[in-house]
Structure 1
Amino acid sequence: MFDLFQQWRRLAAAGVSMQATGVEALKTMSGAGDVIVARGAIMSEAARSPLAADHGELGRMVPEKVAAASRAGSDAATLIWDNQSLWQRHMRHLGVMVMRCRPPTFSEWLDLAERNAALMVGSVEASAKIGSASLAPFSRQVKANARRLAAQPPGRARRARAKSH
């Protein structure tokens, strides 16, 4: 049975989820800035003294981005596919209604209205999940990098920068 309040509750929850994803995106961007500054110093130090460079950190830079992008793409594609499957089922149902070669009954109209409302709410929820799932791998990696780089002992480049300010 169609429950208008349940539909509104689900829409509101999807909106809150989208806002939380926005806040997480801001935190990720801020953390990424910190990681870029720390890694810039590591790269600068590596350019000055290649043998003393932090090759472990230098070797992480590209593979972690590829892994995060792969995970984000895979998660987003799965959610998009699930949402498209809902739409395909709905379109098959509409096709069956049309092929009956008669006007729909009142109960069929009510069923169709309920299906349409459920599909729309489901699409909004899927959109919220896609954004969150796409951001999550990058957010996790940025947080891990920021923690690890903050815990490292300062290198020559960081000491030199601190003394010059």
Structure 2
Amino acid sequence: MPLAEPAPVTPPKPLPQTNTRPTSQPQPRPVRETVVSAPASSAASNDAPAVPVAAPAAPPAGGEASAEPAPVSAPRFDADYLQNPRPEYPSLSRRLGEQGRVVLRVRVEPSGAASQVELQRSSGFSRLDEAALQAVRRWKFVPARRGSEAIAEWVLVPIPFILH
């Protein structure tokens, strides 16, 4: 009886290349960081580290990316001409030796006004937290910009209360 020849082996066909991203849905945009630091005062120290806040970039109009949007600059309040009032160190807190760092979340409008000021992280002392909230509500900011257009943006503002 003759031996049967083995069947020829055919290599598997490669899978067709497909786009792994659906083209009908908008692609996620990178997240940027906004960094600010508090101005120096008797209640706030110059060496306080800045606190970043991540905020997603605005989605493109119409849902499709046609061109790269202009970069967004961070809101600023450290410009000398703004004359932001320093937070008052509450006298009772000073006598009791209360110290701490308050972090506020502030929405800066295109006009530079702080429209919303929220407590992001407490100092541990309600008097210090309230003093920081009251001061920052009156501050003026240099607004964030997208190209030459002023836009509203959230920013974190650290306010350290340190006894000297």
Common topology (TM > 0.5):
no
More strand as a share of residues: 2
- Considering only CA atoms, is the larger Rg found in Structure 1 or Structure 2? 2
TM-score (norm 2): 0.21
